[in-house]
A and B are shown apart, each in its own frame.
Chain A
């Protein structure tokens, strides 16, 4: 279509027509629809040699597709699944994935290219005009439908038999309740599950990397240590659920830098322990800036100040990070003084 528009700029019947109409008494509309432009012959329509050339191009494309499919099967059989090859500029890639993908791409694309080339060069390109028909029904048909509907409703006695009708409505309204009731066992009630974690009085803080209990001297100023409660193991059946709430991060700040009074009381010689779960939507916070004592959640960039009670200083989080009160037990290990004082993680309606 678009190719047909271009040559017509050269051909200028409009100018002539307009001048003519300017002279006659009743001017014809200079913007009148000239109708579908005349069909223009392609080289393939005139020159049989060109047409045969087009056919050969199409056939070549289809042949390439066949060869590519053979290549696909051959690669599948010949290449090992773990073979890695270097392909410029992609780098090191899986040989099998690369070969299969390329063969499949060529096999498919050639079919498409062949079909489109066939359609464009060899199939008839005469534009056809078809009429549209209004969608709306004729008034007679409309009247007939309304009459049929009223007859049907009258025959059903739906309007007159009110008792039957209303009880039907009642039954239809109630029956989906069974389906809703069935959904009850999708999960348990929330109860106070979101309020408690595995932390409890006397539980030691275990280094998550070494699984050894932490001593205050293990935590130098400026470091960030992740910990979990004593007695938890990766192999527990509910490990994922528990770590989702209990994950802890520990930093040591010079006590004089801690601005919040309660935060200082809950720390041990400047070692503060905060929930690792962001109070926005629950991502684990993992980026610590030791100069400023800020931690940043990589999901939505909420930033908390660990030197100031875990206060939110930037980002979409709505409240401070919960702090865990810690101390040192008789053997010199860090231990929790109890569970978190407030629910960890994202806020929820019952949080209060």
Chain B
């Protein structure tokens, strides 16, 4: 830190670093915050880096995005291209498209930055999705972290929209088709749809306003909100202290790991460079969104295999497999074929977004949770999560039904019906199967605790019998496999009170009790090994 530490200075004054810190402390009170945080402990687990991937790709997107604004012209004024890219010379295009060509072919390094920006955006949204799954399946969203879950969920939703507005900006044939899709969706909204479309586009489609408007949404409005949310998200992570997996020495009341300074700073800081390096490498070798090969947008032209970026694929799937219902009544049209999927799209997202509140209501659990659940120990939650992922994946298949059909020589009709049926049946099957798997794993844990682990060593007994030697688990494993709780389901009490009078039980209470039973009732878990059972088996004739 201090660079001016020769002997004469050292004797008279404190080192420069100290003096700067003192100066800051006198104005910002930094020592108070540093005292608590410099050696703050962060638990370590590979899955905790998923959130870091998101954070770092977000920073990379902002850095590269600022650079791109220096060269991009968000204008729909039509010009004739006369730049260096020969195949486009003489073609009519918007200034937005032409300036994107310039970034790709005239600005040195412009193509690299453009590709880093786009790749980082894909990794950002993919990272958020996987991070969200990690938090979901380990129950890290439970009290006190519900609000932070919502912040993260909002970041995911806003990230999707920022991605859409971003890839729309070059005004190429593919993204223009996406904007047309958005306009068709707006038109389907009952009563106000046509007005929304006229107002957003400044008149008829496509007009000359949409690119500049999406531009200010993409570079200012959405990232501004997201930056605020990211900061809030991080503050809460700091404030709550990170969750940790159960294990020896780890309790609800402590946090075990490495200190912020130096290990976490070095690892997390180094990880930023790793993420950036990998994204730069991908951008060096893999082209993304080659708008020069796609061409400028014209509302009467289209390319085959038109797809949104993957994260909107599930919304696309909902739209593609929906029957084309249209109701005409009293001189008005209700465009259900488009409107229903567009209502389902946020509902599917909200199903996972509001889940923490549903779970805490059902279970009635008001305690803080800092130890993570192993997914198998919360079968209903895990099954719900897998069911949600199933819906997501099935609709994603629907979103690429043409590609599935052409690449795997399938009938598009069959794929459509598969998705239609799978949308309803798939999550149910996934739910049941996942729960069974969880229970099976719980059973295995129980066996491991009581009978030890299989060593693979076959022993022949004196009387000729062959047995496999089981080795008792070490103490820390025993603790790890038995540390979780198995709460009782919520009781709503008897139907009648002690005088034989029917008690009033609200319908919501009955529902809650039933759901609670599905979480904690019979069949929802395998009773974990108890100390008595363990004693009985280990003190007896040995293990078998």
Point out the residues of chain A lying under 8 angstroms from B262, CB to CB: 119, 123
Given contacts A14-B474, A115-B269, A119-B262, contact A30 B144 (CB under 8 A): no
Specify which of B257, B281, B323 is in contact with A105 (CB 8 Å cutoff).
Answer: B281
Given contacts A14-B472, A102-B284, contact A2 B46 (CB under 8 A): yes
For A108, the closest partner residue in chain B by CB is B277
B residues contacting the other copy or chain, number (CB 8 A): 132
Point out the residues of chain B lying under 8 angstroms from A228, CB to CB: 300
B414 to chain A, nearest CB (A): 12
Residue among B144, B321, B472, B535 with the most chain A CB within 10 A?
B472
Point out the residues of chain B lying under 8 angstroms from A190, CB to CB: 194-195, 197-198
Q: Indicate if A231 sits at the interface (CB-CB under 8 A).
A: no
**Which of B248-256, B432-440, B503-511, B514-522 lies on the face that meets chain A?**
B248-256
Q: Indicate if A240 sits at the interface (CB-CB under 8 A).
A: yes
A102 to chain B, nearest CB (A): 5
Given contacts A97-B284, A352-B331, contact A8 B474 (CB under 8 A): yes
Point out the residues of chain A lying under 8 angstroms from B483, CB to CB: 31, 33
Asked if B475 contacts A32 (CB within 8 A), the reply is: yes
Asked if B531 contacts A31 (CB within 8 A), the reply is: yes
A253 to chain B, nearest CB (A): 22
- Within 3-49 of A, Cβ neighbours of B (below 8 Å) are at 5, 8-9, 11-15, 17-19, 21-23, 27, 29-37
Specify which of B284, B320, B338, B538 is in contact with A100 (CB 8 Å cutoff).
Answer: B284
For A27, the closest partner residue in chain B by CB is B535
Asked if B267 contacts A13 (CB within 8 A), the reply is: no
Point out the residues of chain B lying under 8 angstroms from A349, CB to CB: 187, 189-194, 332-335
Asked if A101 contacts B144 (CB within 8 A), the reply is: no
Asked if A247 contacts B201 (CB within 8 A), the reply is: no
Task: Please measure, in the bound complex, the distance between the C-alpha atom of A277 and the C-alpha atom of B187, giving whole angstroms.
Answer: 14
Specify which of A30, A114, A243 is in contact with B531 (CB 8 Å cutoff).
Answer: A30
Task: Please measure, in the bound complex, the distance between the C-alpha atom of A188 and the C-alpha atom of B204, giving whole angstroms.
Answer: 9
Asked if A129 contacts B249 (CB within 8 A), the reply is: yes
Specify which of B44, B255, B475 is in contact with A13 (CB 8 Å cutoff).
Answer: B475
Task: Please measure, in the bound complex, the distance between the C-alpha atom of A127 and the C-alpha atom of B59, giving whole angstroms.
Answer: 30
Asked if B479 contacts A34 (CB within 8 A), the reply is: yes
Specify which of A1, A21, A316 is in contact with B337 (CB 8 Å cutoff).
Answer: A316
Specify which of B46, B325, B479 is in contact with A318 (CB 8 Å cutoff).
Answer: B325
For B198, the closest partner residue in chain A by CB is A187
Q: Indicate if A330 sits at the interface (CB-CB under 8 A).
A: no
Point out the residues of chain B lying under 8 angstroms from A97, CB to CB: 109, 111-112, 115, 284
Asked if A298 contacts B402 (CB within 8 A), the reply is: yes
B70 to chain A, nearest CB (A): 16
For A134, the closest partner residue in chain B by CB is B368
A23 to chain B, nearest CB (A): 8
Task: Please measure, in the bound complex, the distance between the C-alpha atom of A9 and the C-alpha atom of B472, giving whole angstroms.
Answer: 9
Point out the residues of chain B lying under 8 angstroms from A350, CB to CB: 194, 331-333
Point out the residues of chain B lying under 8 angstroms from A235, CB to CB: 78, 92
Point out the residues of chain A lying under 8 angstroms from B306, CB to CB: 283, 298-299
- Within 103-120 of A, Cβ neighbours of B (below 8 Å) are at 104-116, 118-120
Asked if A118 contacts B266 (CB within 8 A), the reply is: yes
Asked if B335 contacts A1 (CB within 8 A), the reply is: no
Task: Please measure, in the bound complex, the distance between the C-alpha atom of A82 and the C-alpha atom of B338, giving whole angstroms.
Answer: 45
Given contacts A94-B111, A316-B338, contact A123 B263 (CB under 8 A): yes
For B303, the closest partner residue in chain A by CB is A298
Specify which of B180, B192, B259, B401 is in contact with A281 (CB 8 Å cutoff).
Answer: B180
Given contacts A190-B198, A298-B402, A318-B325, contact A31 B479 (CB under 8 A): yes
Asked if B194 contacts A287 (CB within 8 A), the reply is: no
Task: Please measure, in the bound complex, the distance between the C-alpha atom of A52 and the C-alpha atom of B41, giving whole angstroms.
Answer: 28
- Within 252-309 of B, Cβ neighbours of A (below 8 Å) are at 252-259, 262-263, 266-267, 269-278, 280-281, 283-285, 298-306
For A350, the closest partner residue in chain B by CB is B194
Task: Please measure, in the bound complex, the distance between the C-alpha atom of A284 and the C-alpha atom of B181, giving whole angstroms.
Answer: 11
Asked if A132 contacts B108 (CB within 8 A), the reply is: no
Given contacts A109-B274, A109-B277, A226-B300, contact A128 B184 (CB under 8 A): no
Residue among B199, B251, B413, B535 with the most chain A CB within 10 A?
B199
Q: How big is chain A's contact interface, by range? A: 35 or more
A257 to chain B, nearest CB (A): 23
Task: Please measure, in the bound complex, the distance between the C-alpha atom of A98 and the C-alpha atom of B284, giving whole angstroms.
Answer: 5
Point out the residues of chain B lying under 8 angstroms from A120, CB to CB: 267
A162 to chain B, nearest CB (A): 35
Contact with B along A319-352 (1 / 0, CB 8 A): 1000000000000000000000000011111111
Contact with B along A145-170 (1 / 0, CB 8 A): 00000000000000000000000000
Q: Indicate if A124 sits at the interface (CB-CB under 8 A).
A: yes
Given contacts A101-B283, A315-B324, contact A244 B205 (CB under 8 A): yes
Task: Please measure, in the bound complex, the distance between the C-alpha atom of A31 and the C-alpha atom of B299, giving whole angstroms.
Answer: 69
Asked if B254 contacts A37 (CB within 8 A), the reply is: no
Asked if A282 contacts B271 (CB within 8 A), the reply is: no
Q: Indicate if B2 sits at the interface (CB-CB under 8 A).
A: no
A116 to chain B, nearest CB (A): 4
Point out the residues of chain B lying under 8 angstroms from A347, CB to CB: 187-188, 326, 333, 335, 338
For B249, the closest partner residue in chain A by CB is A36
Specify which of A105, A124, A134, A189 is in contact with B263 (CB 8 Å cutoff).
Answer: A124
Asked if A104 contacts B251 (CB within 8 A), the reply is: no
Q: Indicate if B101 sits at the interface (CB-CB under 8 A).
A: no
Point out the residues of chain B lying under 8 angstroms from A21, CB to CB: 535
Q: Indicate if B473 sits at the interface (CB-CB under 8 A).
A: yes
Task: Please measure, in the bound complex, the distance between the C-alpha atom of A156 and the C-alpha atom of B334, giving whole angstroms.
Answer: 52
Task: Please measure, in the bound complex, the distance between the C-alpha atom of A300 and the C-alpha atom of B534, giving whole angstroms.
Answer: 60
Q: Indicate if B389 sits at the interface (CB-CB under 8 A).
A: no
Asked if A76 contacts B109 (CB within 8 A), the reply is: yes
For A208, the closest partner residue in chain B by CB is B300
Specify which of A36, A240, A281, A345 is in contact with B298 (CB 8 Å cutoff).
Answer: A240
Specify which of A82, A112, A282 is in contact with B205 (CB 8 Å cutoff).
Answer: A282
Asked if B284 contacts A101 (CB within 8 A), the reply is: yes
Q: Indicate if B207 sits at the interface (CB-CB under 8 A).
A: yes
Point out the residues of chain B lying under 8 angstroms from A319, CB to CB: 324, 326
Asked if A100 contacts B112 (CB within 8 A), the reply is: yes
Task: Please measure, in the bound complex, the distance between the C-alpha atom of A239 and the C-alpha atom of B412, giving whole angstroms.
Answer: 35
Asked if A18 contacts B472 (CB within 8 A), the reply is: yes
Specify which of A31, A111, A244, A352 is in contact with B204 (CB 8 Å cutoff).
Answer: A244
Asked if B198 contacts A108 (CB within 8 A), the reply is: no
Point out the residues of chain B lying under 8 angstroms from A14, CB to CB: 472-475, 477-478
Asked if A1 contacts B45 (CB within 8 A), the reply is: yes
Contact with A along B447-467 (1 / 0, CB 8 A): 001000100000000000000
Asked if A115 contacts B267 (CB within 8 A), the reply is: yes
Specify which of B266, B370, B402 is in contact with A119 (CB 8 Å cutoff).
Answer: B266
Point out the residues of chain A lying under 8 angstroms from B302, CB to CB: 283-284, 286, 298-299
Point out the residues of chain B lying under 8 angstroms from A113, CB to CB: 270, 274
Asked if A348 contacts B320 (CB within 8 A), the reply is: no
Q: Indicate if B385 sits at the interface (CB-CB under 8 A).
A: no
Point out the residues of chain B lying under 8 angstroms from A112, CB to CB: 270-277
Asked if A188 contacts B331 (CB within 8 A), the reply is: no
**Residues of chain B having any CB pair with chain A under 8 Å:** 39-41, 44-46, 78, 84, 92, 105-109, 111-112, 115, 144, 177, 180-181, 183-185, 187-195, 197-207, 209, 240-241, 247-259, 262-263, 266-267, 269-278, 280-281, 283-285, 298-306, 316, 319-326, 328, 331-338, 368, 370, 401-402, 412-413, 416, 449, 453, 471-479, 482-483, 529, 531, 534-535, 538-539
User: Please, could you name 5 A-B residue pairs with CB atoms under 8 Å apart, sorted by A?
Assistant: A32-B479, A102-B281, A127-B257, A301-B402, A314-B413
**Residues of chain A having any CB pair with chain B under 8 Å:** 1-2, 5, 8-9, 11-15, 17-19, 21-23, 27, 29-37, 76, 81-82, 90, 93-94, 96-98, 100-102, 104-116, 118-120, 123-125, 127-132, 134-135, 183, 186-190, 193-194, 208, 226, 228, 234-235, 239-241, 243-245, 247, 276-277, 280-284, 286-287, 298-302, 312, 314-319, 345-352
Smallest CB-CB A-B distances: 5 pairs: A101-B284, A281-B184, A109-B277, A115-B270, A36-B249
